[in-house]
A and B are shown apart, each in its own frame.
Chain A
Amino acid sequence: MMTMDMNQPPQDVIRLEKISVRYRLPGEQIHTFKEYVIRLVQKQIQFKDFQALKEVNLQIRKGEIFGIIGNNGAGKSTLLKVISRVLVPTQGRVWIKGKVSPLLELGAGFHPELTGRENVFLNGTILGHSHREIEEHMHEIIEFSELGSFIDASLRTYSSGMYARLGFAVATTWEPDILILDEVLSVGDEAFQRKCQMRMKGFRNGNATSILVSHSMEAVRSLCERAAWLDHGTIRAVGPADEVIAKYRQAQAGA
């Protein structure tokens, strides 16, 4: 495909077919190797299954901002892990076109003893960028994160807001094919949050797809065209964000 054709049907970038994730929890937690061997010999290991996802089918299209809502423990984070290829599902097929960039949790992929600049290299290579690509974008990252001369200070001197700004700047400086945001827009002050939302909206005009997990219905409504409501590992509704939120709210009120 060489040209952007507005009449063309939207392309899928993610296809999940009958995805199930089953955590095997030992009936009683076994903590030591010795205990495990003894139980194994005695054939006393029983596993309880916990279905985090049950036969989930989902298609996400190129260029959209897709919201995922649901109560705690509904399987939202598990679903994101399947999409970012971190968790290999017990069953089902995962098809993904493009590179997935999750916005890492505060502190993951950073080292407190290194400077901000050194951490940009560490974090950037974790996201799969080359040394040269990072060097080329260093200026832009520093500018966006508003860290100024702090960029050469040790990360342990940073506030949590500074951490988050640096993390977001590294993750979004390259327009990702698929950006994953798990409850992260709640960090930083309001001005920075607006900046983050601007950047995400900018991606929508390009080719990037974003997946947003949030408990804030306002954020999902204002940013996402489509959304899915996850409940106890199954999808209860998929469609325009407004409708899905309305259904979710209705169920919450009824419960």
Chain B
Amino acid sequence: MQIYLPIAEVSVNMFTLLGLGGIVGLLSGLFGVGGGFLITPLLFFIGIPPAVAVATGANQVVASSVSGVLAQLKRKAVDIPMGLVLLVGGLLGSASGIYVFNLLTRLGQIDLAVQLCYVVFLGGIGVLMFLESLRTMRRQRTGGVRKKRNPHSWAHKLPFKFKFRASGLYISVIPPLLVGVLVGVLAAIMGVGGGFIMVPAMIYLLHMPTKVVIGTSLFQILFVSAFTTLMHAITNQTVDVMLALLLIAGGVVGAQIGSRMGAKLKAEQLRILLALLVIVVALKLGADLVITPHDIYSIASGGHA
């Protein structure tokens, strides 16, 4: 059944969108990530204009993070002060990200920028995650002891210290602020929540305990992607609510199946699978940049040279 999307101005099969949302929901339920990094490239692939895909992707992330954050709040696994600091950085990052997005769109380099971001960040994170999981699995097999993290890092020497009770940290607000800014910029340019950047950054840079990491990152992602959606809607009119609704509907069902499947797998196995998935997406996008395109010409309606 074809459905005409009012903002994207293309007609797409409804079941394709539901299925797409479902697959991404399945993965996000399985791995506990927003899935934005998958949905945006997949939307490009089915012919949704990139600007619409990015903006609508952000809207879809809002839905998945709302349902995630509600569950985490119930478990008291959200460090709200930390989330707010990350959020301030995130909003600054998102606003400048939208500016950069519009600038690159005018220059005709937005597709390249989005693809490069995906290749660099996804590829990097994927490889790191893969190596880390391999190390953990090997350590478990040999029965070795986990090396205790050094809590005294450079982050302790910075001013504006603040006590984050839920995380059990007494650190400067500058590092979380910077992490927030980075994630905000990426959220605006890539149409992702940025969980795949933020979660490792919180664990390895800020040394937050793992149990509050997911909830706190979801809390921040929720507000940053809501802000990003609003900014895209106001400045570019590129949020397609019909598209978002179908993706969300599929995603909700997929997430339920995914989290049930996830309960049956081990954390390390899940992480390795996620790492492989991330690497595959990054490789595919990287290949597109290097392989000679089918047609070196492309057209964009509107705009000036």
- Do the two chains belong together in a single complex? no
Q: Which residues of B contact A (CB under 8 A)?
A: none
